[in-house]
Amino acid sequence: MRFLFVLCVSAFLITIYTVYSDNFRHDSEFVYLAAGSKLYQIDPELKSINRTYSSESTMTQIEYCYDRNIVYIGIPGVIFAIDPGSGELFWSKEVSFGWDPGQQSTMKLSNQMLYYSGDYSPVMGAFPIYGFDLQNYHERLYPVMHAQDASFSINQGTVFTYFDNHIICYNTKTEELESIPFAPDLSREYYIVFFDNKFAVIYTDEIVWYCVNDSKIHQIDAVFSADVSLETFDVCFVYSEGFLFLNRSKGDTHIPAALSIFDLNTRTATILQNNTNFPIDLAVTSDAIYAVFDDQIVIYTEIGAFSLER
């Protein structure tokens, strides 16, 4: 077995900050955060680390997704299904799961299907996308790839991603493939993050949100780095209603800064924590923001921030 299951009990230190909460879909009694070869299961009620899943290989980057009944963990070549309550292993399957060094985990869960990236293809300059049926344990390679500078999303059975100056929409049920021309500003460094049928293009000085609807791409919002009094962004996490960032210019990684969240609805930025650095992983729920750092996990809530030792 490639995974060791370790039960961790940690006391937490309470530090008070002015914080912010926002909505992000979350369908589990636990919250999960990954850091290198470890996946932490956090109890949001007790504000504590309930269980730690650890890979035997310290060089392995864990990716994951989950619902209320099962947490799925992926390492190159293998997917594990684990009972979130007991920590017991349901099953493990050898698959074409690869490792994508993108900004967010490439594992997605939708309607009894797991979606994930395979190994990078230097010939195509992109990552293949696979689907794994959780009912019959059958893996399928889809006729769609995502670029190295883009993620992908699943919305109602359709894969949305970016490749070769096109937004790709592939319906996994009808097998219909649609390619919509879209060219980001290639004169600027960028990364494209997808969520549902929306995506955001992250530049060093601007984030632009789009929606794909009826075979058309519509711009729905944009924020410039100057809007938060910065020359360039150091963006940590982007989703449909906002983003988290460090109050420093991109590239100043040696300078601790304030971790902040920007709300697209109110057009305001709120500081979560001063004098910190880039989080390893982030999760946003309806009532808290979870961030894992080198030595601790911090839970930001409306009443304060809870720090858990890793």
Q: How many CA atoms lie within 13 A of 215 on its CB side?
A: 4
Q: Buried b vs exposed e over 211-225: b needs ≥16 C-beta within 10 Å?
A: ebeeeeeeeebebeb
C-alpha to C-alpha distance for 157 and 160, rounded to whole angstroms = 10
CB neighbours of 307 closer than 8 A, spacing ≥ 6?
12, 13, 14, 15, 296, 297, 298, 299
Amino acid, single-letter form, for residue 125: G
At residue 225, φ and ψ (nearest 5 deg) are -60, -30
The answer to whether residues 42 and 50 touch, using CB atoms and an 8 Å cutoff, is yes
The pLDDT of residue 99: 64
The pLDDT of residue 9: 26
The pLDDT of residue 62: 81
The pLDDT of residue 252: 74
CB neighbours of 125 closer than 8 A, spacing ≥ 6?
147, 148
**Six token digits for residue 233:** 């962004």
Q: Which residues of the chain have pLDDT under 70?
A: 1-28, 57-60, 99-105
C-alpha to C-alpha distance for 160 and 212, rounded to whole angstroms = 9
Closest CA to 12 of 48, 61, 42, 38: 48
The pLDDT of residue 148: 86
Provide the CATH number for the domain formed by 3-309 in this structure.
Answer: 2.120.10.80
The pLDDT of residue 299: 96
The answer to whether residues 203 and 176 touch, using CB atoms and an 8 Å cutoff, is no
pLDDT tens digits for 128-162?
999 999 999 999 999 999 998 899 999 999 999 99
The domain locations on the chain are: 3-309
